[in-house]
Structure 1
């Protein structure tokens, strides 16, 4: 990693830590209060996937630098020192003018070399022409664009998850408040029934029925308390808040029940979707890969310049004596000409063309799929709102039935069993209402995602 990329990476981490620090400091002092907008903001800065996406963008910038470096001069130095412990022997014919008639042999052994030798050099190489280099530069820039789109897609996914987790907490909290009210109501009913039993106006069986109802409510309350705690921890995990930090959701469901906004998104035809940008960028990369394989048929040309100093001596003490060192310099060009590779490039090109067709088909399908997704999401939201309206009416009716049944029982013209059954029906209506409410909130988020307005 070069110094420029390192500084950029340090800068990004500094910004992230500046955003995290106030949150942690606040958490150490008191409970952190969060709105949905604040939760999304913190998540985009602290969520692990969001932070990794930011780092991936930095890595893509480094890739551009790597590809650019291939076209810059490459300078390398070298040093070699050799101690010839046993100098190799060469054989020459024992013939004039170098032969020695006094030696009875057809060949003469000749020891060529010295005990110590060394070489010090520097070599500069410069790419003059390489078609793949220019394609690689464009591909690196396109890859950086893709990482930007990937980052945007991940951020959209984080926002979607935060909204769903946030609404889950809100719904669970509302359910817990309602169950607490139900507990209070049934506890009062139990007191009244117990008093009537003591006075002889109610049977022991009636008291037992109410106790069973109360015990069931307590069990339901414990489950909702646990579900609420779990949903809060899941929200914190999505946001990127440490486990030990306490948070408080400062909004209610009424803050997100905006009829005007719902009507607006139902009339919206949608905006740009990052998935299309991702697909088109992948198509561009595939085309660049095709072009890169095509330019492999073109020769590459490189220039080089080398300078070296060589020295030798029979003794180590004189190995670095300047009088034993000599200079040499080289300059030239080299060209690599592809001739035959067993049809490797041809097959790669054929594969690239198939991949391009596949990506084009995917883009066409993605366009159609987005239209269907928008249509389906709108229908789901409308149906969820209708269901919510019906369940809200059912809850109100169930509450009315319970109150009337309770009054009849208190006046002695109704039975305890009717009160218990009315209470059970009310609980079921409330459960159905909150289930429909959650489905409507999630349907709204799904439509926002389909429209590209998260």
Structure 2
């Protein structure tokens, strides 16, 4: 029997350790800190923890930057609808000036005619043929400056820009849903760990109360075996002593777990390693859940960020199909140029007409054959759309099943809540009766020990059931996607 009692108390402490070690979230509180032997200790309510977590958690800025990146990509896609204007300037220095050699030429008059040419001092001389020597014509100076403003405006692209716009807009929505999921996960983690810390305090208190009662029973046992009727023996006292010391070591572990739960509560918000947050609540609330399964599933399709993210992914894939299909169509663009040229030479090519001016043109690009490249791009993107739609169906079923499982677990927890409460009250009454009877040597020592350990175990199970219930509610809010909406509206 004493061996069974030992196993019982170890089960109580093991339950407490498993409950506390399963928590891995943290929060930072606004309450002014106070110093303790275990670092900086702060107290905060659940509302303060949630609000401060949403303000200071480092995951949130990261998700916001992802949204900003997606919005910048969307604006890049919209830039394709505007004319592209480029201003260029340059300086050029040549080793020699540019020239043009006019070749020599001989001009013969038709039908052997002549042209009278008057030469001073020699009179008039008839000339039949005219010979023009080669001429070196300078085109421009060695140094030139040039400024050009070029414009290109895509008028028709077969839907390419529309496809890019749809893709980037869908990516923005996906990143916003990812940011919402981050907020939901922060709220869920803070809520579960907050009440996990409350549970850790309760379990530690159960351990201390049980140890105190066991020590009192040990002292009573010692007195009874030394001064009593002889029914209580020294072996009873020794067995009780072993149990008390074992329980004392386990209470120390419970104390450590309580401190680690409070440290974990502070860690998520980026507090120093020696900071801790202690909940202001002393009890885990219990409120029966009145929601309906069908309503929860319908709400999840409206607010669940994963569901909205998949819908946005379908729109992005459909935009990719539109972009790929644009490869079948021609592209039409208008071009224009305004130029200015500075050169000190006034002859050759460096004339006022050539030094400045403008041009306007229209260009068209018609795809003829690309080795079936465009056709296969369209097939690939269309297959991607179909793939995501099938994944959407799987997600729909998965979300529904998860909500159903959590809903059923909530119903089971609410039924177990009353059972564990009745068991705890019965265990408390049984403990009191056994302690009073033991004082008159009406029950055995092992019965008193077992009654005290069962009291601790039933209390721990009841508190753990209350924590499981509120953790399931938090998990349900995470899946449905509505938990953080009111908190965000208050910012």
Give me the TM-score of the superposition, normalised by structure 1: 0.78
- TM-fit CA distance, 1:277: 1.8
Deviations 1:295-331 (A, max 9, x none): 22222222222233335579xxxxxx99999334322
State how far apart, in whole Å, the 2-side matches of 1:208 and 1:266 are.
56
CA contact (8 A) 1:42 1:240 kept: no
CA contact (8 A) 1:115 1:313 kept: no
CA contact (8 A) 2:67 2:172 kept: yes
State how far apart, in whole Å, the 2-side matches of 1:126 and 1:258 are.
64
Deviations 1:372-415 (A, max 9, x none): 22222121112223333333333333333333333332212333
Deviations 1:118-171 (A, max 9, x none): 433222222322331233233333332222222222222222222221221121
- Report how many aligned residue pairs link the two structures: 412
Aligned to 2:19: none
Matched, 1:187 2:197: no
Deviations 1:277-308 (A, max 9, x none): 22111111111110111122222222222233
Aligned to 1:67: 77
Deviations 1:340-390 (A, max 9, x none): 222222111111111111222222222222332222212111222333333
**Aligned CA distance change for structure 1 residues 189 and 265 (closer, same or farther; 3 Å):** farther
State how far apart, in whole Å, the 1-side matches of 2:397 and 2:353 are.
79
**Aligned CA distance change for structure 1 residues 365 and 71 (closer, same or farther; 3 Å):** same
Aligned to 2:131: none
Unpaired segments of 5 or more residues in structure 1? 1-21, 99-109, 315-320
Give me the TM-score of the superposition, normalised by structure 2: 0.73
State how far apart, in whole Å, the 1-side matches of 2:105 and 2:351 are.
34
Unpaired segments of 5 or more residues in structure 2? 1-27, 107-136, 484-491
Aligned to 1:142: 170
Instruction: Please give the secondary structure, in 2, of the residue aligned with 1:70.
Output: helix
State how far apart, in whole Å, the 1-side matches of 2:351 and 2:254 are.
89
Aligned to 1:362: 391
1:370-385 alignment, distance < 5 Å? 370-385=399-414
**Aligned CA distance change for structure 1 residues 162 and 23 (closer, same or farther; 3 Å):** closer
CA contact (8 A) 1:46 1:241 kept: no
Matched, 1:199 2:227: yes
State how far apart, in whole Å, the 1-side matches of 2:225 and 2:391 are.
73
RMSD: 3.7
State how far apart, in whole Å, the 2-side matches of 1:183 and 1:88 are.
106
Instruction: Please give the secondary structure, in 1, of the residue aligned with 2:368.
Output: coil
Matched, 1:225 2:255: yes
Matched, 1:394 2:413: no
**Aligned CA distance change for structure 1 residues 119 and 191 (closer, same or farther; 3 Å):** same
State how far apart, in whole Å, the 2-side matches of 1:185 and 1:160 are.
37
Instruction: Please give the secondary structure, in 2, of the residue aligned with 1:77.
Output: strand
State how far apart, in whole Å, the 1-side matches of 2:295 and 2:66 are.
33
CA contact (8 A) 1:146 1:282 kept: yes
Instruction: Please give the secondary structure, in 2, of the residue aligned with 1:120.
Output: strand
1:247-396 alignment, distance < 5 Å? 247-254=277-284, 256-259=285-288, 262-264=289-291, 268-270=295-297, 271=299, 272=302, 273-311=304-342, 326-396=355-425
Instruction: Please give the secondary structure, in 1, of the residue aligned with 2:86.
Output: strand
Which structure would you say has the larger RCO, counting Cα contacts within 8 Å and 6 or more residues apart?
Answer: 2
State which drifts further: 287-296 or 411-420: 411-420
Aligned to 1:8: none
CA contact (8 A) 1:168 1:231 kept: yes
Instruction: Please give the secondary structure, in 1, of the residue aligned with 2:441.
Output: coil
Larger radius of gyration: 2
CA contact (8 A) 2:91 2:145 kept: yes
Instruction: Please give the secondary structure, in 1, of the residue aligned with 2:152.
Output: strand
More helix by share: 1
Matched, 1:404 2:436: no
